[in-house]
Amino acid sequence: MSGHSKWANIKFKKGKTDAIRGQVTTKIGREITIAVRMGGADPTGNMKLKLALYKAKANNVPKDNIKRAIAKGVGASDASNYEEITYEGYGPAGVAIMVSTLTDNRNRTAAEIRHTFSKGGNMGETGCVGWMFKRKGVFSVAKENGPSEEDLMMMVLDAGAEDIKTEDEGYEIITSPEDYDAVEKVLSDNNIEVAMSEISMIPDTMVTVSGDDAAKVQRMIDGFEELDDVQDVYTNADLPDEE
């Protein structure tokens, strides 16, 4: 899930049940395989693969699973049976939701997404909420054993980062997609460990949701993430940590 604190996302993912972790591992493995089929096994020249590998790291996907997923993609030139499709709509309390999918059957996927939206919201046309989001690169760096805020800020801003936000656990660095590689390189060159890195859809403004509405939004997000074809869910809902 994306759209609010990356540190909340990291905690949420690490606390998932074994069954859900297994599903996440399977999804990321498929994403790695398709990325290799589309652009080769070298992440240096394959942004999709690079991002999938970062996602695998953030979700503690075993190295053996990653190797198998890469091997499965090597030598397989046809990835045309899979499509990347993003669905948009509104959830409980009118929050905006975007659902990124990787599917080999768009009719099945559209039906599943529409059904999930119907549980407290509705699926809209392409672009109905997309204008509220901007495509950005995001890096999360822990404070513990890391650089000072001033040093990190100077480092990443010089590399082209747009913004750096300080949270209790660490720093969130925002870049344009075009400057993603430059910021990644400066962090790597300075041996700064990245807890999470992704190209995400960041909302221009957040909508604070609490109580029953927050619980309903979280249930809808969980419903999307349980679908096999769903890769990422983005929302402008600002949910309390306890939800």
Going from N- to C-terminal start, the domains of the chain cover 6-73, 83-131+205-237, 133-203
Q: Which of the 8 DSSP states describes residue 205?
A: S
Helix (H), strand (E) at residue 150: helix 149-158
Helix (H, G, I), strand (E, B) or coil at 39: helix
Q: Report the pLDDT averaged over residues 147-154.
A: 90
Strand locations in 159-216 (E): 163-166, 170-175, 196-203, 207-208
- The first and second tokens of residue 116, run together, are 């999930």
Helix (H, G, I), strand (E, B) or coil at 14: helix
Q: For residue range 176-209, what is the model confidence (pLDDT) as tens digits?
A: 989 998 999 999 999 998 888 888 899 999 999 9
Residue 80: per-residue pLDDT? 56
The model's confidence at residue 1, banded by pLDDT at 50, 70 and 90, is very low
Residue 24: per-residue pLDDT? 83
Highest mean pLDDT (candidates 8-22, 68-82, 101-115): 101-115
In 3D, which of 95, 81, 101 has the Cα closest to residue 31? 101
Q: Report the pLDDT averaged over residues 32-56.
A: 88
Residue 16: per-residue pLDDT? 53
Q: If you compute the radius of gyration of the chain from its CA atoms, what whole number of angstroms results?
A: 18
Helix (H, G, I), strand (E, B) or coil at 21: helix
Q: Report the pLDDT averaged over residues 49-66.
A: 87
Exposure letters 145-154 (e unless 16+ CB within 10 A, then b): eebeeeebbe
The model's confidence at residue 26, banded by pLDDT at 50, 70 and 90, is confident
Residue 168: per-residue pLDDT? 79
Instruction: Please check the confidence at residue 42 and state whether its pLDDT lies above 50.
Output: yes
Q: How distant, in Å, are the alpha carbons of 9, 28, 90, 96 from that of 120?
A: 23, 28, 9, 12
Q: Which long-range contacts (CB under 8 A, 24 or more apart) does 157-162 make?
A: 158/186, 159/183, 159/185, 159/186, 162/136
Q: For residue range 135-144, what is the model confidence (pLDDT) as tens digits?
A: 999 998 888 8
Question: At residue 236, what are phi and psi to the nearest 5 degrees?
Answer: -100, 10
Name the amino acid, one letter, at 9.
N
Q: For residue range 119-137, what is the model confidence (pLDDT) as tens digits?
A: 999 999 999 999 999 999 9
| CATH fold group of domain 133-203 | Alpha-Beta Plaits (3.30.70)
- Of 2-16, 139-153, 170-184, 215-229, least confident by mean pLDDT is 2-16
**Average per-residue pLDDT for the chain:** 86
Residue 193 or 88, more confident:
88
- The domains spanning 6-73 and 83-131+205-237 adopt the same CATH topology: no
| Class of domain 83-131+205-237 as given by CATH | alpha beta
Q: Report the pLDDT averaged over residues 148-168.
A: 90
Q: 6-73: CATH homologous superfamily?
A: Integrase, N-terminal zinc-binding domain (1.10.10.200)
Residue 83: per-residue pLDDT? 84
The model's pTM is: 0.80
- Of 78-87, 113-122, 134-143, least confident by mean pLDDT is 78-87
Residue 60: per-residue pLDDT? 83
Q: Report the pLDDT averaged over residues 202-220.
A: 93
Instruction: Write the CB contacts of 218 (distance below 8 Å, at least 6 apart in sequence).
Output: 239, 243
Residue 243: per-residue pLDDT? 45
